[in-house]
């Protein structure tokens, strides 16, 4: 039998192992010491009654039943148009460049509606405020999605690559980007449009309650609260914070005099895009009036995209997650299509209908964003963008450079 105690190699090896274990424990203790303090505990009953101090009627759960309200309703657009128009933009990360391409071409053609309602989820939420304010902000959107500065948003959190932290990225760069583009002047302009009857809505997911929350950005901007700008920025960052990739956003609320912190993250966890039932969008249509027109931009591909999957954990999980998102989006579109058919709503859908090379290890790749921008731009100019019903397959997939 080998005598470990008498063997210098084994003795040294045991000592090295012991030192290594002590080092690991020390690192874990240091990381634990850097962790955020625990939040104030609250329960499900309290969660239903939380309020944001200084704001009233600026958020609802997407599954809340909301009866018809007369009078001054900050959720219902006020319009005299024969055909009110709504724009809903989905999540999709770098795929948001697809929406930017559509909006740019639409503006150049002079056919872009002045939307009565604009909604956004995730990357769509970041685009929504500037899209809501109109073509004057197209150049700023192009700079955000087409310049090399987009890569600056990848700010890795080196604390174990997210193993010991809430996310892989710190999120500081995203917060700076939102702060630079959502300014006091932008908020004032959104408030003016809200007063004119237009509505800007963004969705987050409350991680505590597992419910989707719709935020009325226009009502927040028009609230008069000194905290409006900070809260709007928080909501936009939260909507774009994909769980595990970017840290969730802590939003302070109050219930029964107790201050608590809700954790909000990517609205895409709940739905990749959202619209609202017709009764929340316009009053019942008078005889002879035209119907509501909803435009939905999916900043992703709905068609199957072939790629050999590496037999490693992270690529497999990423691939499976992409499949889940496609399925989620398809189901949402089918539900919306059925709703539109039964409610006499005019529906137009756009999605990325060409397979563009993409890598999860380079999420804000300049070539990818330029390619999907051009798909949106060229399809719009050629009047070959919108479809009236969801299409999930395409014979002979187009390449990215083709119309």
196 closest CA partner among 84, 116, 278, 83: 116
Asked if pLDDT for residue 36 goes beyond 80, the answer is no
Asked if pLDDT for residue 279 goes beyond 60, the answer is no
Q: With pLDDT > 90 as the criterion, what percentage of the chain qualifies? A: 48
CA distance 154 to 152: 5
Cα distances from 363 to residues 40, 175, 302, 360, 367, in angstroms, run: 35, 18, 18, 5, 11
Mean pLDDT of 277-282: 49
pLDDT at res. 396:
39
Asked if pLDDT for residue 136 goes beyond 90, the answer is yes
- Residue 152: pLDDT band (50, 70, 90) is low
Q: With pLDDT > 70 as the criterion, what percentage of the chain qualifies? A: 76
Cβ-based neighbour number of residue 311 at 10 Å: 7
pLDDT at res. 53:
92
- Residue 10: pLDDT band (50, 70, 90) is very low
CA distance 52 to 206: 14
Asked if pLDDT for residue 159 goes beyond 80, the answer is no
Asked if pLDDT for residue 75 goes beyond 90, the answer is no
Backbone angles phi, psi at 283, to 5 degrees: -65, 160
214 closest CA partner among 204, 228, 200, 229: 204
pLDDT at res. 4:
45
Helices (H), 293-355: 313-343
CA distance 97 to 374: 9
Q: Which residues lie closer than 8 Å to 359 by C-beta, 6 or more apart?
A: 365
Asked if pLDDT for residue 391 goes beyond 70, the answer is yes
pLDDT at res. 277:
58
Mean pLDDT of 367-383: 95
- Residue 291: pLDDT band (50, 70, 90) is confident
Asked if pLDDT for residue 146 goes beyond 60, the answer is yes
Specify which of 37-46, 75-84, 125-134, 171-180 reaches the highest per-range mean pLDDT. Answer: 125-134
CA distance 93 to 96: 6
Pair 374, 158: CB distance under 8 Å: no
Asked if pLDDT for residue 46 goes beyond 80, the answer is yes
Pair 86, 345: CB distance under 8 Å: no
Mean pLDDT of 343-367: 84
Model confidence, pTM: 0.83
- Residue 72: pLDDT band (50, 70, 90) is low
The sign of the torsion formed by the CA atoms of 70, 76, 82, 83 equals negative
Three-state secondary structure call for residue 150: helix
Asked if pLDDT for residue 339 goes beyond 60, the answer is yes
pLDDT at res. 1:
45
Residue reference for tokens 């900043």: 299
Asked if pLDDT for residue 65 goes beyond 80, the answer is no
pLDDT at res. 153:
58
pLDDT at res. 3:
47
Asked if pLDDT for residue 24 goes beyond 70, the answer is no
Three-state secondary structure call for residue 259: strand
Answer left, alpha or beta for residue 273, where phi above 0 means left and psi between -120 and 50 means alpha.
beta
Work out the mean pLDDT of the chain and round it to a whole number.
82
Pair 266, 90: CB distance under 8 Å: no
- Residue 69: pLDDT band (50, 70, 90) is low
- Residue 157: pLDDT band (50, 70, 90) is very low
Asked if pLDDT for residue 25 goes beyond 50, the answer is no
Residue reference for tokens 């209908």: 353
Mean pLDDT of 367-387: 95
Q: Which residues lie closer than 8 Å to 234 by C-beta, 6 or more apart?
A: 249, 251, 264
Asked if pLDDT for residue 201 goes beyond 70, the answer is yes
User: How much of the chain is in helix, strand and coil states, percent to nearest 5?
Assistant: 40, 15, 40
Mean pLDDT of 78-102: 93
pLDDT at res. 305:
80
Where is pLDDT greater, at 153 or 310? Answer: 310
Q: Which residues lie closer than 8 Å to 17 by C-beta, 6 or more apart?
A: none
- Residue 103: pLDDT band (50, 70, 90) is very high
CA distance 383 to 56: 43
Cα distances from 170 to residues 84, 109, 247, 248, in angstroms, run: 40, 40, 7, 10
pLDDT at res. 11:
44
Asked if pLDDT for residue 206 goes beyond 90, the answer is yes
CA distance 173 to 151: 10
Mean pLDDT of 138-147: 94
Specify which of 66-75, 158-167, 240-249 reaches the highest per-range mean pLDDT. Answer: 240-249
pLDDT at res. 211:
92
Cα distances from 380 to residues 60, 141, 351, in angstroms, run: 34, 17, 12
């Amino acid at each position: 039998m080998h005598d470990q105690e008498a063997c210098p190699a084994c003795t040294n090896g045991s000592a090295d192992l012991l030192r290594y274990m002590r080092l690991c424990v020390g690192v874990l203790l240091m990381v634990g010491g850097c962790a955020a303090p625990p939040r104030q505990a609250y329960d499900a009953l309290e969660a239903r009654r939380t309020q944001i101090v200084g704001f009233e009627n600026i958020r609802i759960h997407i599954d809340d039943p909301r009866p018809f309200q007369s009078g001054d309703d900050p959720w219902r657009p006020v319009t005299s148009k024969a055909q009110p128009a709504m724009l809903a933009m989905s999540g999709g990360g770098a795929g948001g460049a697809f929406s930017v391409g559509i909006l740019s071409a639409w503006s150049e053609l002079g056919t872009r509606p002045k939307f009565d309602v604009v909604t956004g989820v995730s990357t769509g939420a970041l685009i929504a405020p500037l899209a809501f304010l109109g073509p004057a902000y197209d150049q700023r959107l192009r700079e955000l999605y087409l310049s090399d500065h987009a890569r600056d948003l990848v700010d890795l959190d080196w604390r174990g690559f997210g193993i010991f932290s809430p996310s892989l990225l710190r999120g500081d760069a995203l917060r700076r980007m939102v702060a630079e583009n959502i300014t006091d002047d932008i908020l004032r302009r959104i408030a003016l449009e809200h007063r004119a009857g237009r509505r800007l809505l963004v969705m987050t997911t409350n991680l505590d309650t597992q419910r989707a929350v719709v935020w009325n950005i226009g009502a927040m901007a028009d609230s008069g609260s000194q905290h409006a700008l900070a809260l709007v920025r928080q909501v936009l960052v939260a909507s774009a914070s994909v769980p595990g990739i970017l840290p969730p956003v802590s939003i302070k609320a109050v219930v029964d005099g107790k201050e608590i912190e809700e954790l909000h993250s990517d609205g895409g966890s709940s739905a990749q895009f959202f619209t609202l039932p017709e009764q929340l969008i316009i009053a019942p249509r008078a005889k002879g009036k035209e119907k509501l027109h909803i435009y939905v931009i999916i900043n992703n591909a709905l068609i199957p995209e072939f790629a050999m999957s590496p037999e490693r954990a992270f690529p497999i999980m990423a691939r499976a997650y992409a499949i889940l998102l496609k399925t989620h989006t398809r189901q949402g579109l089918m539900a919306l299509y059925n709703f539109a058919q039964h409610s006499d709503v005019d529906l137009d859908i756009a999605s990325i209908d060409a397979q563009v090379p993409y890598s999860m290890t380079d999420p804000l790749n300049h070539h990818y964003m330029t390619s999907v921008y051009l798909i949106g731009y060229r399809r719009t100019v050629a009047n070959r963008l919108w479809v009236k019903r969801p299409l999930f397959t395409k014979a002979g997939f187009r390449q990215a450079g083709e119309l």
